[in-house]
């Protein structure tokens, strides 16, 4: 009996040891592997995940998504503390253009270079340039948001003698041509037609014209393009070539509808607006529906971008493979992005899809012009390497300096000096 007990005991020890070895070498439970907590500030991401037929949930039924959305202005303050503490942190999250680089440069995001490298030959360059830092990729985007110059066809015909985009582009081919055309419009209209309703529209195009970012080797840099931006804003204001309203103001929207007035109540004609991809669908169309068909778009003087959404993941996510698969599918998958682009009209960052569908669009709001093909060409010339995590702070202070100069409250030299001092005080840059 004792012999049997010893044999039984040895067998149980061996069985127990075998179990421990199997447990140590086996993956975590399937449910834990395949659940992702996803945070966003935009309902776009939720729609892409939930879309029937081709959305992520429909094509990845083994991965559970717990999704929540927070308004953009509250999103960073919700995300920052959980990333810092590691408690209650989402696996995957959307990042808006205004703050994407803050997180890309933070060291808190998962390296997704392998996702990018597997698809890089079919992707537009600039979205990944924005999402990269020190040779690694931390954020990817499904979309491209290049900017264009939208103009009123009726005003172009009236004052330039043509509304054809190719011919109108010649009037706005560079900075000099832009200013010449501003003067021409005022002259031919007896002061009734302004080239833009606000100088604020010029900020993103001039920013896209830079050769250097705001910070180089830890030193604050004022690229010559941004000095020219200051001078151009002042020139337009002093000569009455712009509508003297603020961007996003009632006057700005009124200009789109043909209802802009000057300080004396006289009607002004706003010839053009600088807007990106989403500006067509969510700004012009929604605020000036009665002007449908009286618009066209051109590249304008400079290639630029404005806005966009990136997707990143927490570096310590317990589900890196599932997180990478979500990012891979939404930002690179040909079949998904083609279905999404055809339904939404969004300009995607996948060149395979762009080249396949770009010739099949005709936008009634633009008089039948193919906006998709135009935007696709513009996106090829955008440089994402100029974007940095400190941009939002620096540009906010710079805008105040430009306003003070344009209004005559400061000289250009004093405005620049005060801008440098304010940035140094806030960010510690020379």
Instruction: Give the residue from 229, 286, 214, 223 showing the smallest Cα distance to 257.
Output: 286
Residues of the chain with pLDDT under 70: 1-33
260-265 own/partner pairs: CB under 8 Å, 24+ apart: 260/194, 260/197
14: buried, middle or exposed (CB in 10 Å: 19+, 13-18, 0-12)? exposed
d(CA 20, CA 14): 10
Q: Where are the alpha helices (DSSP H) in 358-390?
A: 371-379
Q: Give the pLDDT confidence score for residue 3 in this predicted structure.
A: 36
Q: Give the pLDDT confidence score for residue 8 in this predicted structure.
A: 31
| pLDDT tens digit sequence for 337-393 | 999 999 999 999 999 999 999 999 999 999 999 999 999 999 999 999 999 999 999
Q: Give the pLDDT confidence score for residue 430 in this predicted structure.
A: 84
DSSP 8-state class, residue 409: S
**35-40 vs 64-69, strand pairing mode:** parallel
Asked whether 31 and 296 are in contact (CB, 8 A), the reply is: no
Q: What are the structural domains, with CATH classification, of the chain?
A: 30-144+307-360 (3.40.190.10), 147-210+225-306+367-386 (3.40.190.10)
| pLDDT tens digit sequence for 207-223 | 999 999 999 999 999 99
Q: Give the pLDDT confidence score for residue 12 in this predicted structure.
A: 36
């Amino acid at each position: 009996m004792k012999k049997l007990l010893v044999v039984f005991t040895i067998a149980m020890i061996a069985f127990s040891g075998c179990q421990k070895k199997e447990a140590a070498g086996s993956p975590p439970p399937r449910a834990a592997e395949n659940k992702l907590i996803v945070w966003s500030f935009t309902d776009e991401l939720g729609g892409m995940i939930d879309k029937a037929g081709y959305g992520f949930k429909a094509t990845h039924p083994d991965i559970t998504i717990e999704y929540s959305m927070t308004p953009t202005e509250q999103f960073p303050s919700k995300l920052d503390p959980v990333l810092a503490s590691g408690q209650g942190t989402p696996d995957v999250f959307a990042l808006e253009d205004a703050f994407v680089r803050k997180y890309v440069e933070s060291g808190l995001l998962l390296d997704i270079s392998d996702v990018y490298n597997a698809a890089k030959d079919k992707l537009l360059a600039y979205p990944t340039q924005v999402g990269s830092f020190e040779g690694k990729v931390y954020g990817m985007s499904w979309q491209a948001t290049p900017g264009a110059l939208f103009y009123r066809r009726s005003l172009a015909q009236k004052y330039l003698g043509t509304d054809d985009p190719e011919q109108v582009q010649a009037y706005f081919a560079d900075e000099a041509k832009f200013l010449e055309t501003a003067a021409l419009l005022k002259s031919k209209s007896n002061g009734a037609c302004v080239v833009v309703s606000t100088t604020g529209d010029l900020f993103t195009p001039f920013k896209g014209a830079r050769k250097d970012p705001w910070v180089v080797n830890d030193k604050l840099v004022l690229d010559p393009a941004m000095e020219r931006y200051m001078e151009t804003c002042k020139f337009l204001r002093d000569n009455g070539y712009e509508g003297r309203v603020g961007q996003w103001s009632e006057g700005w929207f009124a200009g789109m509808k043909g209802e802009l007035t000057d300080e004396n109540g006289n009607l002004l004609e706003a010839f053009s607006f600088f807007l990106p991809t989403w500006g067509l669908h969510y700004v012009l169309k929604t605020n000036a529906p009665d002007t449908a068909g009286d618009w066209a778009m051109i590249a304008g003087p400079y290639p630029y971008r404005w806005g966009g959404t990136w997707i990143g993941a927490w570096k310590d996510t317990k589900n890196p493979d599932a997180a990478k698969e979500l990012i891979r599918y939404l930002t690179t998958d040909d079949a998904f992005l083609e279905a999404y682009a055809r339904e939404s009209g969004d300009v995607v960052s996948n060149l395979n899809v762009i080249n396949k569908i770009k010739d099949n669009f005709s936008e009634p709001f633009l008089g039948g012009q193919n906006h998709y093909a135009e935007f696709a060409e513009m996106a090829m010339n955008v440089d994402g390497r100029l974007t940095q995590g400190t941009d939002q702070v620096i540009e906010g202070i710079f805008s105040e300096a430009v306003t003070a100069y344009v209004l005559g409250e400061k000289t250009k030299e004093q405005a620049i000096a005060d801008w440098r001092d304010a940035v140094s005080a806030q960010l510690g840059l020379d």
